[in-house]
Structure 1
Amino acid sequence: MRDNVPAPTGGTPRTVLMCPGQGAYLPGALRHLGDVPSVSRVLREVDAHTGALGGTGPPVGRLLTDVAAPAPDRLVRAHPLAFDLATYAAVVSCATVLLDLAAPRVHAVLGHSVGDLAALTVAGVVTLEQGVRLLHVRDRLLRDAALPAAGLLATDLTAELAADLLRAEDLPQVRIAARNAPGQTVLAGPDDQLAAVRSAVRALGRRATPLTSRTAYHHPLLAEVQRAFRRLLRAQPVAPPTLPVYTAAAPGPARTPAQLRTVAAAHLSEPLAFHRTLRALRLAGFTTYLDSGPRALLSTLARAGLPGCTTAAPSRTPAGLDRIRLRLTAVPR
């Protein structure tokens, strides 16, 4: 069942730019945008900052402009940091293009999972250099944690059905990682228990799809990593946001420096309630939801959870500037 949240009436319609997480990486996603000055600047700076930090993986510029670049599953296994950096760079690049075109005008940004770091960058809270540095630090913490093999599983179950199934199958280490939409619940846990729940879900005739991920994000397995990351974040300067910053981990906007630093770390072990944040945005008067990634990931979830809202994914591939402009002109105002 969809969330029955009435559409706002009266007032000025407002638009939120949504920043997806790791599902946003797509080989060659920016091949038609690589010559756009704002995009080339992002790719160049991400690679330069990575090189200065001793990064050794494939350059983000190649990953996002060459269709022959490694597929997501292969890249996350071989070079997990490069996978994270490419995801971050893709979302920030697409967001800069949409903000430059400014039609419709964007009034807030919303991050989903590790997309929170992109949202914070888009809103001017952290710089590109800080974003790259934070991803390098996070990568080191994850490697040092020596975590068990674990991952994420997307299902078409409601959160209630998923919780009932986990209890019935006695899988205590599998947790609900994300309540994304009425018909999409993501589970996280060790690989062996995820395999068991995948079989159980499919036995019910429902869908269960493993997600490309280096570990079980939004799970207590990463609690110590999150604590260490938050300690390091205390020393990070944060600027006042140029746009209100929302996250799928909390219903309201992050305003204070402490709240903004919390947003930067929430994707590690905090469960997501994307549907809850969408309801809060709708009640706050947001009517249009733009996806800043090269796929229509969050716009699809927003459409499922908020009947009657306006959604668009102008940067979905293949997309050059002319096509993005055309898609934006088709967005109702």
Structure 2
Amino acid sequence: MIRDVEMLVGMFPGQGSYRRGALLDAWRDGDVVVREVYAAVDDAAETLLGKNLTSVVFSADPPTAEGLFRQDPDLAQLAAYAQSVAMFQRLHADGVRLTGLFGHSLGEIAALVCSGAYSIADGAALLCERIRVLRELDSSGGVMLALGASSERVQEMLALVGDAASVIAVRNSPQQTVVSGPAEPLRAVAAVAAAIGVNATPLRSPHAFHNPLLQVARDELRRRFTAFAQLPLRTPVYSPISGRFYRDTDDLAELLAQHLVVPVDFGTAIDRLCRAGASAFVEFGPGGTLAGIVRANAPMATVVEPFHDTAAAVNFLTAHTAKADVAGTTPSTVDTPAMAPPVVPPQVRNVQAEVVPSVTAAPSAARDEVFQRVRGLYAETLGYPEEVLTPEAAFEAELGIDSVQQTELLQQVTKLFYLTSGNVSAPTTLSNLDSIVDYIIDNRATVGTTT
């Protein structure tokens, strides 16, 4: 089972996460780390695809995300990979150490690279081979569609359309599910969604990822991926596709190829990591997409967005690195059901989805979660039964908790919820658990963001 440890977790977005201007100043200033990452990506792209990334994304007039996808979807994927790996390497060079990593679809390659399982150059080459194989072998014409509904409701919509090749590809949250399949049936799904008031957003994707339509490409991709050296992981990586942590004994070529045909369950990944002790998530993408998904699934988790304010993110994360530096505490096994082999529809003619941020979960549920955690902390520290720690019970008058104890407990709350010490109010202004919960919710900041 997943152990109860506190963790700082890095998240790597998939295709569609490229943003115009991200890391441009660092590149122009000659940042060594950024230039080394992009040089490795350029080498792979030029060798395997005959393309150059930096001449496009660091040009005098870089394209927008939409413009790059229309101009060259291959470079859009490489740009997403390069941006996330470069930012991770910058933070690592500044002393940031994370407890765990995970990626959204294509982002799993970046997560494995940053864990040490592959070199940066090999990660870029893996991505280039993936692009080449899909170009050669995917004739399905598949697309992807994000729907503002639960997977159960989306499954009902798919049943109405009745196309076996249209499947759930990504479960992001109870409010968002992504489907993939042939273009015409997905247009019908979008029409059903419009009729019942469900938001439907076509995604920038060159293929119907996470769909058995790509089985032929999956088989060839596994063969090509076996040529790349697999190294021991330095940092644990959780796979939202496999539903467990990767192990050094895993055949990564097999698992990464399998990604093409099996769905992503990102919402469950967030839930399991939170239960494992994760309370701060770092997004290594400039778009904030994964941050939005975290907020929808775990509204009280801290979200760190270094692309918005790198210095603030580094300061926050290095201050908490001591908690994260628990190498070896993440389990190598997680209780998960075995993956069933995908059903493969007949191959017909040719995202890593960029996912629209989801709606935040109900505030009442978030407040109750905070209260339960705070009450547990106070009960354990004071040796009180939880029943006496009601929301309104006065700390000093009713519970006999003096000002010194209140200050010490408030410091523990600050650490537990990753609040800045400068925000801590005087004990006299926080006189019961209800006021402590209000304080946490009011000061629960998103670190390194301008929003």
TM bracket (short chain): 0.7 to 0.9
Give the structure 1 partner of residue 65 of structure 2.
72
Alignment of 1:1-333 (within 5 A): 13-34=6-27, 35-51=30-46, 53-57=47-51, 59-66=52-59, 68-103=61-96, 105-316=97-308, 321-322=310-311, 324-325=313-314, 332=418
Percent identity, aligned pairs only?
31
Map Cα deviations across residues 157-192 of structure 1 (whole Å, 9 max, x no partner).
100000011112323321100001111100101111
**In 2, Cα distance between the equivalents of 1:30 and 1:115?**
18
Distance 1:157 1:102, change over 3 A: farther
Distance 1:123 1:304, change over 3 A: same
- Could you tell me which amino acid in structure 1 is paired with residue 50 of structure 2? T
Distance 1:205 1:131, change over 3 A: same
Preserved CA contact (<8 Å) 1:94 1:294: no
Shift of 1:148: 2.5
Which range moves more in the overlay, 14-23 or 76-85? 76-85
Distance 1:92 1:293, change over 3 A: same
Paired residue secondary structure (2:245): strand
Paired residue secondary structure (2:25): coil
Preserved CA contact (<8 Å) 2:218 2:258: yes
Shift of 1:207: 0.8
Shift of 1:48: 2.5
Normalised to the residue count of structure 1, the TM-score between the two structures is 0.87
**In 2, Cα distance between the equivalents of 1:54 and 1:188?**
27
**How many residues are aligned here?**
318
Which range moves more in the overlay, 121-130 or 257-266? 257-266
Map Cα deviations across residues 122-171 of structure 1 (whole Å, 9 max, x no partner).
11111122112212221221121141221111111100000011112323
Give 1 or 2: higher strand fraction.
1
Extract unaligned runs of 5+ from structure 1: 1-7
Preserved CA contact (<8 Å) 2:161 2:185: no
**In 1, Cα distance between the equivalents of 2:122 and 2:199?**
38
Distance 1:261 1:301, change over 3 A: same
Preserved CA contact (<8 Å) 2:279 2:301: yes
- Could you tell me which amino acid in structure 1 is paired with residue 201 of structure 2? T
**In 2, Cα distance between the equivalents of 1:245 and 1:101?**
21
Shift of 1:77: 4.0
Paired residue secondary structure (1:165): helix
Shift of 1:219: 0.7
**In 1, Cα distance between the equivalents of 2:188 and 2:54?**
39
Q: Kindly name which structure, 1 or 2, has the bigger radius of gyration based on alpha carbons.
A: 2
**In 2, Cα distance between the equivalents of 1:217 and 1:148?**
11
Map Cα deviations across residues 262-281 of structure 1 (whole Å, 9 max, x no partner).
44324311101111211221
Preserved CA contact (<8 Å) 1:19 1:291: yes
Shift of 1:325: 4.0
Preserved CA contact (<8 Å) 2:193 2:200: yes
Preserved CA contact (<8 Å) 1:29 1:65: no
Paired residue secondary structure (2:259): coil
CA RMSD of aligned residues (A): 2.3
Q: Comparing both chains, which one has the higher relative contact order based on Cα–Cα distances under 8 Å and sequence gaps of 6 or more? A: 1
Normalised to the residue count of structure 2, the TM-score between the two structures is 0.66
**In 2, Cα distance between the equivalents of 1:20 and 1:67?**
26
Distance 1:215 1:36, change over 3 A: same
